[in-house]
A and B are shown apart, each in its own frame.
Chain A
C-alpha cells in the first residue's frame, strides 16, 4: 500500500511538472533517406559520436535465445547478434520493411511443401575474438531454446516449428544441449553441410524465414555458453561489442567491434562510435530530460513510450523530435466458450454488438494514443484485414438486445467480465459495462492484479469462472502466424494444463483446418488466408472481440538523425542507420 502511494505521488507530481511546461505546437517525426529496405545513406560526417539510450525499463535478457522483448530483439540484432534474415531499415516512420538476408546469403530456399528450409551462411562474418561464425554456431544457438529449464523466458518457435517429436504434455522430446536427451532428433531436424544449414519442419511453414529474424534463432558459440551465467555476457558478431560488463538495472556501453566487416552487412551502417545504454532511469525523468534537450541528452533516444500524462508536453516541448506510430499490440476481449452464457452464439454476438470502443479510446487517453479496431492482426502487418466495426465505434445496444433476446436467455443476462486491474482499465471497463448493460446484460466487473492476471486466465481451475476476459497480444515477427494460431489454435494451446493463450477455450475444426492451410502459404496468399481467419474469428464465430490498437510515442534528442521507427521490425527506433551530429 505504501509503495503504491509513493508511486502514485511521484506520478502525480511528475504529471503536474510536465503539464506546467506544456505549450501548443505541432510536431512530426524526423526521417532519414533510404531506399528499398536497405540502410539509408547518410553523409560521411554522420559516422562518429556517442549515441545515448535512456531507458526506464530493465533489460531481462541479452542472451539471444532468451530475448523476447521487442526492444531487445531489435537492439540485439542491430548491435551484436546477426540473424540469418532480418528486416531492413525504413525511410520514414510507419513504412513497411522488407525481409532481407543478414548472416545468410539470401532469405532462404523453401521446399515445395514448405517443410524444408535451406540457408547458406555468408563468408567473412566473425565473432568479436576473430573466429568465423559457422553453421554449427547457428545450430548450437537454436538448440539452446530446447533447454527450457535453463534458457528460460525466450520464444519457443524452434520447438513449435522443427520436426522433433513431442511428449504427451506438449514438451519436446529433445531436452537441449546440456542434457542431450533426444540429441539425435535435433540433429535430424537441423543439419549443417559446410556453410549450409537445413531446417526440417514438423508441418508446412511458409513464413519460417521471418521467424529467423528473432535473435532466438541466432548463433551462439558453444565454448562461450555458461547457461544462466551467459544472460548478460554479450559475445558479439555484429558491429558493436560490450565494453566491460552489463549491469542489470544500470546498463552498459557498446563500442565498435573491430572484427565486424561492413562488406558482409548491407543492413547496419553503425554510425556512432559508441552507444551508452542507461536503464537506471524512470520513464518520467527520462522524458523530462528528452524534452529539456540539454547537453548530452541532445544525442539521446529512448525506447520507452511517453507516458500519456506527458503527451501534451511532448507535443509542445519536443516539436520535430517526436513520433507517434502504431504499436505492435492489440487489446481484445475473449468470450469464454466454457461459460454457459458465452457458449451461446447469439450471446457472443450481442456482446460484440454492444461493445462501445469509443469508451475505451476516451478512457485510455484519446485517439492519438489509442485506435479502435475489429481485427486481432495489427495494422503494421501486411495481413491486416481491416475488418469493419460491426456497429460503429460506439456499438449498437438496440441491435445487441435483439441478438440477446434471440439467444433464448432470460434478460438481464448476468455476466462476469475480468480485466487486468489498473487505473486506466478501471475507467475503460466502467465505460464498456454501460454499453453491455444497455443491451440487456447485467455485467459484474472483476479486476485482477497485473502480476496474477494471465496466470489466473491460464489456470484450468478458472475455466468456467469468467464469461469474458480482456487480453493483449503483439505479433512476435510480422506474420499473422504469430497471432492467429498463438491465440486461437485449440490444438497447440489447450491442454490438460490449461488453455494456453486460447483463454476462451475456442475450439473449431474448420478454423484449425484454415490455420493449417494458411501455414502452407507464402506471401500475399498467406496474408489473405490469415486475414480471412481473423475476420471469421471476430465476425463469424465471435471468438474474440478486438478492441483497440495502442500507439507508441517516442522522443529523441535534437542531434539525433535517422531516428526512424520500424513498425515492421518490433516497432521501435531502428538502430541500423541512426547517427548523431557531432
Chain B
C-alpha cells in the first residue's frame, strides 16, 4: 500500500508538471500580448515595451517557466529587478515558497489570492457535497426499494429535471426570487465559518441547493440502478431468508456493494468542485477558485492562469488517487498493487 501511494504521488507530480508546462506553451503560442493589459489608455510602443520588461514577459518562455518552478521550491521576489531591489527594497514583494507567482493585474501574490479564495470554494463544495449525497443516495435507495411505484417515478422524474436544468438557470432563479425579491435568505456574500457559522450557512444555502440540485440527480439514478441490481443478488436473498432485519439488508449488505461506483463518481466530482464551481460562483458573485480562474483568463493574467491550472489539476489528480486508495477500504476484494 505504502509503495502504491508513493508511486501515485510521483505520478501526480509528473502530471501537474506536464500540465503547467503545456499551459505555459499554449499561452506563449497565443497572439495576445499580456503586457497590453497593463498599458492603459495612452499606451505607446515605448511604454508597452517597458511594461513587458518590467513584468518579465520579454524573457523566453522557458526562462519564465524555470523561474515559476524555482519559486515553488525556494520562493521569489517581485519585481525581479536587481537595481530596484537595491535602491527601493520597500517596493519589493516577497513571496515565500511555495510561491505561485505574482499577479500584475491584481498587484499581489497569487498565494494571497488563493488563500482568500479557497475557503469559499471549499465551503461551497463541501456543503453542496453533503447535500447532494444525502439527497442523491437517499433518493436512489428509496426509488430502488419502490421500483415501478409512484415514489420511484417521482424521484426519477425530479432527478431528470434537476439534471437537465443548467446550474446558471437554477442559480439565477434562486438568487432573483428567494434572495433579491422575497428576501427569505441573504443575498449570498461569503462569511467565514469561524466568524459566524449561522451566517456562513445562511449565505451559502442557495449555492449549495443549486449545485445539489444538479449533482443529486445523477446520484439518484446511479444509486437506484446499482441498488436494484444488488438487491437482486443471491446473497441478499439469502440474508432476507435468514431473517436479517430489513434495514441491515439494505444498508449493511446492499449499500456497501453500491458504494464503490458511488465513491468513484463522488471523489471525482468533489475534486473538480474544490477547484471552483465556476458557474455557481459567478452567478452568486462568490469569488472562489472558479472565479479566480475565469478572471485570470479574461485578463490574460499568465501567472494566475498557470497557478490555477496547477491547483485545479492537482485537486482532480489527487481526488482520483484517493478514490483508488479508498477502494481498498470499501471493498476488501480489491487489492492495491505493490
A binds B: yes
A152 at the interface (CB under 8 A from B): yes
Residues of B within 8 A of A14 (CB): 172
A339 at the interface (CB under 8 A from B): no
B33 touching A288, Cβ below 8 Å: no
Task: Identify which of residues 40-60 in chain B touch chain A, using a CB-to-CB cut-off of 8 Å.
Answer: 40-47, 50-51, 53-54
B172 touching A13, Cβ below 8 Å: yes
B181 at the interface (CB under 8 A from A): yes
Beta-carbon nearest neighbor of B88 in chain A = A178
Residues of A within 8 A of B295 (CB): 58, 249
B45 touching A178, Cβ below 8 Å: no
Beta-carbon nearest neighbor of B295 in chain A = A249
Beta-carbon nearest neighbor of B116 in chain A = A247
Query: Which of B143-151, B230-238, B278-286 faces chain A?
Result: B278-286
A455 touching B51, Cβ below 8 Å: no
Residues of B within 8 A of A226 (CB): 90-91
Q: How far is the CA of A58 from the CA of B285 in the complex (A)?
A: 12
Residues of A within 8 A of B175 (CB): 285, 288
B32 at the interface (CB under 8 A from A): yes
B107 touching A152, Cβ below 8 Å: no
Given A178-B84, A229-B91, do A149 and B41 touch, yes or no (CB 8 Å)? no
Q: How far is the CA of A250 from the CA of B191 in the complex (A)?
A: 13
B211 to chain A, nearest CB (A): 15
Q: How far is the CA of A497 from the CA of B279 in the complex (A)?
A: 41
A152 touching B39, Cβ below 8 Å: yes
Chain B window 103-133, contacts with chain A (Cβ cutoff 8 Å), 1 for yes, 0 for no: 0011110000000100000000000000000
Residues of B within 8 A of A249 (CB): 106, 287, 291, 295
B180 touching A282, Cβ below 8 Å: no
Q: How far is the CA of A248 from the CA of B108 in the complex (A)?
A: 9
Residues of A within 8 A of B169 (CB): 9, 13
Residues of B within 8 A of A497 (CB): 44-46
B79 at the interface (CB under 8 A from A): yes
B187 at the interface (CB under 8 A from A): yes
A282 touching B91, Cβ below 8 Å: no
A282 touching B285, Cβ below 8 Å: yes
Interface size class of A (residues with CB under 8 A): 35 or more
Residues of A within 8 A of B181 (CB): 292, 294
Residues of B within 8 A of A510 (CB): none
Given A148-B50, A150-B54, A229-B93, do A295 and B183 touch, yes or no (CB 8 Å)? yes
Q: How far is the CA of A178 from the CA of B86 in the complex (A)?
A: 11
Q: How far is the CA of A156 from the CA of B181 in the complex (A)?
A: 46
Beta-carbon nearest neighbor of B102 in chain A = A228
A498 touching B45, Cβ below 8 Å: yes
Q: How far is the CA of A125 from the CA of B66 in the complex (A)?
A: 50
Residues of B within 8 A of A196 (CB): none
Q: How far is the CA of A225 from the CA of B88 in the complex (A)?
A: 10
A6 at the interface (CB under 8 A from B): yes
B36 at the interface (CB under 8 A from A): yes
Q: How far is the CA of A481 from the CA of B269 in the complex (A)?
A: 57
B166 at the interface (CB under 8 A from A): yes
A227 touching B38, Cβ below 8 Å: no
Residues of B within 8 A of A13 (CB): 168-169, 172
Residues of A within 8 A of B176 (CB): 17, 288
Residues of B within 8 A of A75 (CB): none
Q: How far is the CA of A55 from the CA of B182 in the complex (A)?
A: 22
A311 to chain B, nearest CB (A): 18
A512 at the interface (CB under 8 A from B): no
B53 to chain A, nearest CB (A): 7
B31 at the interface (CB under 8 A from A): yes
Task: Identify which of residues 128-174 in chain B touch chain A, using a CB-to-CB cut-off of 8 Å.
Answer: 166, 168-169, 172
Residues of B within 8 A of A6 (CB): 168, 278-279, 282
Residues of A within 8 A of B283 (CB): 10, 282, 285
Chain A window 452-464, contacts with chain B (Cβ cutoff 8 Å), 1 for yes, 0 for no: 1011001000000
Given A155-B40, A226-B90, A231-B107, do A170 and B183 touch, yes or no (CB 8 Å)? no
Q: How far is the CA of A156 from the CA of B46 in the complex (A)?
A: 13
A109 at the interface (CB under 8 A from B): no
Q: How far is the CA of A292 from the CA of B183 in the complex (A)?
A: 10
Task: Identify which of residues 189-229 in chain B touch chain A, using a CB-to-CB cut-off of 8 Å.
Answer: 189
Residues of A within 8 A of B37 (CB): 451
Task: Identify which of residues 258-302 in chain B touch chain A, using a CB-to-CB cut-off of 8 Å.
Answer: 278-279, 282-283, 285-287, 291, 294-295, 297, 300
Q: How far is the CA of A247 from the CA of B115 in the complex (A)?
A: 13
Instruction: Choose from A9, A155, A458 the contact partner of B168 (Cβ within 8 Å).
Output: A9
Residues of B within 8 A of A58 (CB): 295
A227 touching B88, Cβ below 8 Å: yes
Instruction: Choose from B46, B180, B286 the contact partner of A289 (Cβ within 8 Å).
Output: B180
A3 at the interface (CB under 8 A from B): yes
Beta-carbon nearest neighbor of B283 in chain A = A10
A461 to chain B, nearest CB (A): 12
B41 touching A155, Cβ below 8 Å: yes
Q: How far is the CA of A148 from the CA of B105 in the complex (A)?
A: 16
Chain A window 250-294, contacts with chain B (Cβ cutoff 8 Å), 1 for yes, 0 for no: 100000000000000000000000000010111001001100101
B87 at the interface (CB under 8 A from A): yes
Residues of A within 8 A of B108 (CB): 248
B33 touching A455, Cβ below 8 Å: yes
Residues of B within 8 A of A294 (CB): 180-181, 183
A113 to chain B, nearest CB (A): 26
Given A10-B282, A14-B172, do A248 and B106 touch, yes or no (CB 8 Å)? yes
Residues of B within 8 A of A228 (CB): 79, 91, 93, 107
Residues of B within 8 A of A458 (CB): 43, 45
Residues of A within 8 A of B180 (CB): 285, 288-289, 292, 294
Chain A window 279-318, contacts with chain B (Cβ cutoff 8 Å), 1 for yes, 0 for no: 0111001001100101100000000000000000000000
Chain A window 198-236, contacts with chain B (Cβ cutoff 8 Å), 1 for yes, 0 for no: 000000000000000000000000000111110110000
A94 at the interface (CB under 8 A from B): no
Beta-carbon nearest neighbor of B182 in chain A = A294
A10 touching B168, Cβ below 8 Å: yes
Residues of B within 8 A of A178 (CB): 84, 87-88, 91
Residues of B within 8 A of A451 (CB): 32, 36-37, 300
A488 to chain B, nearest CB (A): 15
Beta-carbon nearest neighbor of A154 in chain B = B40
A170 touching B168, Cβ below 8 Å: no
A423 at the interface (CB under 8 A from B): no
Q: How far is the CA of A288 from the CA of B178 in the complex (A)?
A: 13
A500 at the interface (CB under 8 A from B): yes
B29 to chain A, nearest CB (A): 15
Given A149-B54, A294-B183, do A500 and B44 touch, yes or no (CB 8 Å)? yes
B332 to chain A, nearest CB (A): 41
Beta-carbon nearest neighbor of A247 in chain B = B116
B167 to chain A, nearest CB (A): 10
Residues of B within 8 A of A289 (CB): 180, 187
B106 to chain A, nearest CB (A): 5
Residues of A within 8 A of B38 (CB): 152-153
Given A3-B294, A178-B88, A295-B183, do A68 and B172 touch, yes or no (CB 8 Å)? no
Q: How far is the CA of A285 from the CA of B93 in the complex (A)?
A: 35
Residues of A within 8 A of B278 (CB): 6
Residues of B within 8 A of A476 (CB): 41
Residues of B within 8 A of A508 (CB): none
A193 at the interface (CB under 8 A from B): no
Residues of B within 8 A of A232 (CB): 107
B221 to chain A, nearest CB (A): 24
Q: A6-B282, A170-B46, A288-B180 are in contact. List 15 more A-B contacts (CB 8 A).
A: A9-B166, A148-B47, A149-B51, A150-B91, A153-B38, A153-B40, A170-B44, A228-B93, A231-B107, A294-B180, A294-B181, A295-B183, A451-B300, A458-B45, A495-B45
Task: Offer 8 A-B interface pairs, CB within 8 angstroms, sorted by A.
Answer: A149-B53, A150-B54, A153-B39, A169-B45, A170-B46, A178-B84, A231-B107, A282-B283
- Counting from the closest, the 9 A-B pairs by CB-CB distance are A497-B45, A227-B91, A153-B40, A231-B107, A149-B50, A149-B54, A171-B46, A280-B285, A248-B106
